[in-house]
Structure 1
């Protein structure tokens, strides 16, 4: 393959930046890594990174392979033909035009219909909708101090743990922009800390997209993982790996997700810090549920046993890292909660009942985790055919986290109750409150 042309100097042409941005957008929408795209066209992952940054101009043959792989028109990727701009268009207008083009490319490559400017009622209810703008149409952002950035991130995390997803969705675009601007303005150790904040902000964005069952989780987690790797913080990398694995599981790749979680947990468990080992335990819990979803019973039970053993070990050592973890704690209550979900997906929900009965929901640390308890119990009782207890679990979830019962999966569960042969008082009202038809 002919050699590519490396851009000279710090100045990068508008055309090359546009080409790189379009490639990155389409790659993320296609759920491909830089390694995978590079393998197709004979480049390394770092070379693809330079192409996407506009610092490396691919050869014509490479552009052809990239265009075919990403479903793009070749003429839209040729330098100088990316976007035709009128001579009197300002730089701000150029940026707006490019952002609109990227938004169209990303949505089209993901197989999503592009919405008209007047968004529908359904779209306005999707708290993750703002993430699309943060990805493809970011507004101007100014750097802030690290102290302000940490406080902003803590506020966004509080929205998530309190299950205030609309508030989180409203705060994320500004947070993501400010975090990246702050990172770009710093250097040295301060920049690494800012990168960790960028990664955790994108972790929250991915969590929100997963709650909404939105495909935007893929490009969001790509940003989270890139920032986590650049930060050099193994704990933050573990947090990003967890949401990546959940995204992979949702896309029908549970075996690869379990492998990723195993490897990342093993790496973290070698660390001396309690937080690293606690994050490793949460990765094993996620791996166990993921294995259960693919009916790998022995793997699911082994992974749960490993996670439980790690949590007990941390408890015996007097470690209490739970409050320092980002979205999921490593506690005995958390282990019991995952046992409910694992047994339910394995088709043995009756084995989950004892775990559900010994959990005191109020001891779960956040509204989001309490809602997860209600959700998992609802699924467990539903699989056991107990409609009244299923409804009671859904009502509990609505009580602790009203926005949680509006998630697609719980609305589907409500719909099952609504049309079940057994009439349960209150279901019709719940369906009306959550928009189930």
Structure 2
């Protein structure tokens, strides 16, 4: 039996803290993968936030997590105080059980940092085992650099194909083997092994960020440490980018922009590959500035990145993102969304040929930003069409927490969209 707690008005607590902090609903939503309208529904107690998102809101707004239920570890009495408007009591009960399971796991992780909390993560979470692996790497023997490089390339391929379950299974062993190889190597071999290890941690941070897992912080920090040991500017740039993403997601947008622009300034703009990495840092900095509400900085950084890609020949082989005009356009649409001016992205989206983008993961990201744009403009049919494109490109991408939140928000909008309910069930946004 759980403890009995006084019922709390979660929506009112969030609304009051947000108003005190002078943070808009759009800015708050951007930190945890929700739209502004979803935050509005949460504040009205009409939408239940996922436990990881709820804890992130607490962090951003400075709310002690125990205020959300009278205890540091929510029980059924406390987490069920927010009512979701749903099709049936049975579905609501299923959602409540899922929320309870996830809330206990997430809160336990936040308290102890390590341990077995991830064992309670809902089935199907590709990042479920990452946190335990990061703090207790499996036993592994060193490997030859060619074999280690090939395994890292295979993991990168899984990421770019958006095969996140396969990636999540491969990463613990890859991290352990790369660390063991680095630890026994010396001289140039150690630097090369450090570069491979850095990229394995970059992939870990990317996957954890997509799943809103706090493991992203640890992975990104270790990625940058290993990258600096490699002595190569390209892994340093790649690791800096994922660390800045974790900073932005925790609400430290200005710090992320400062960090990224400083790192970008240290990269050689005359050398093709370092210049391409520099461009990806500028794009991430632009989105971070937009998330922080700094429109002028965001647009200036986007314009600078656009100038860079016009000077660059086509650059293949960047690790998780690309430095192309299409990427600039996708980031511009995303930045305009979080700045609250999605209508300005319509013209950009009209000229964007997503089919030419290099990987399913990048194409799914582009369709995601297009979906958010149409959702902010109140066009449910076009939002759903874009979400269907995400599913077609990368079925596991559409099951990410942020996409499920968008689907749920669309599901409870006043207008009905044919096929949306089935899509919500299929993608995990609605209990079957």
Q: Where does 1:386-425 land on structure 2 (aligned, <5 Å)?
A: 386-425=379-418
> What are the superposed Cα offsets for residues 163-198 of structure 1, whole Å, 9 maximum, x if unpaired?
010000000001001111111121111110110000
* 1:59-98 correspondence runs (5 A): none
Deviation at 1:109, TM superposition (A): 7.2
Please state how far the C-alpha of 1:107 moved relative to its aligned partner: 8.2
d(CA) in 2 for partners of 1:267, 1:118: 38
Change (3 A) 1:388 1:117: closer
Larger radius of gyration: 1
After superposition, the Cα gap between the structure-2 partners of 1:291 and 1:116, relative to the gap in structure 1 and judged at 3 Å, is closer
1:294 positional shift: 1.0
| Residues 94-123 of structure 1: CA deviation (Å, up to 9, x unaligned) | xxxxxxxxxxxx986733698868944x53
**Do 1:311 and 1:331's aligned partners in 2 also have CA atoms closer than 8 Å?**
yes
Conserved in 1, the CA contact under 8 Å of 2:286 and 2:297? yes
Paired position in structure 2 for 1:289: 287
1:110 aligned residue: 110
Deviations 1:336-395 (A, max 9, x none): 111111111111111111111111121100000000011000100000000000000001
Partner of 1:183: 182
| SS of 1:141 mapped into structure 2 | coil
- TM-score, length basis structure 1: 0.72
Alignment match, 2:139:
140
C-alpha displacement at 1:257, in angstroms? Answer: 0.2
Query: What residue in structure 2 maps to residue 276 of structure 1?
Result: 274
TM-score relative to the length of structure 2: 0.73
Runs (5+) with no aligned partner, structure 1 = 1-105
Determine whether 1:363 maps to 2:356.
Answer: yes
Query: For residue 30 of structure 1, what is the aligned residue in structure 2?
Result: none
Structure 2 CA distance for aligned equivalents of residues 271 and 395 of structure 1: 38
CA RMSD after TM alignment? 1.8
Partner of 1:233: 232
Q: What's the CA shift string for 1:51-70, capped at 9, x where partnerless?
A: xxxxxxxxxxxxxxxxxxxx
Q: Is the 8 A contact 1:133 1:173 kept in 2?
A: no
Which of 326, 333, 348 does residue 319 from structure 2 map onto? 326
Q: Secondary structure at the match of 1:214?
A: coil
Mapping of 1:296-315 within 5 angstroms?
A: 296-314=294-312
Q: Distance in 1 between matches of 2:301 and 2:158?
A: 30
CA distance in 1 between partners of 2:365 and 2:417 (Å): 22
Q: How does 1:185-264 map to 2 (within 5 A)?
A: 185-264=184-263
Give secondary structure in 1 for the equivalent of 2:122: helix
Contact 2:355 2:363 in 1 (8 A): yes
- Tell whether the 8 Å contact from 1:361 to 1:373 is kept in structure 2 after alignment: yes
Deviation track 1:60-99 (CA, whole Å, cap 9, x = no partner) reads xxxxxxxxxxxxxxxxxxxxxxxxxxxxxxxxxxxxxxxx
CA distance in 2, matches of 1:107, 1:394: 30
Specify whether residues 140 and 114 from structure 1 end up closer, same or farther in structure 2 by C-alpha distance, changes over 3 A only: closer
Structure 2: distance between partners of 1:290 and 1:388: 29
Q: Within 2, Cα distance between the matches of 1:183 and 1:118?
A: 27
The answer to whether the 8 A contact 2:109-2:117 is kept is: no
**Structure 2: segments with no counterpart, 5+ residues:** 1-105
Q: Give the length in aligned residue pairs.
A: 325
Which whole-Å CA distance do the structure 2 matches of 1:206 and 1:116 have between them? 19
**Structure 2 CA distance for partners of 1:107 and 1:417, relative to 1, 3 Å:** closer
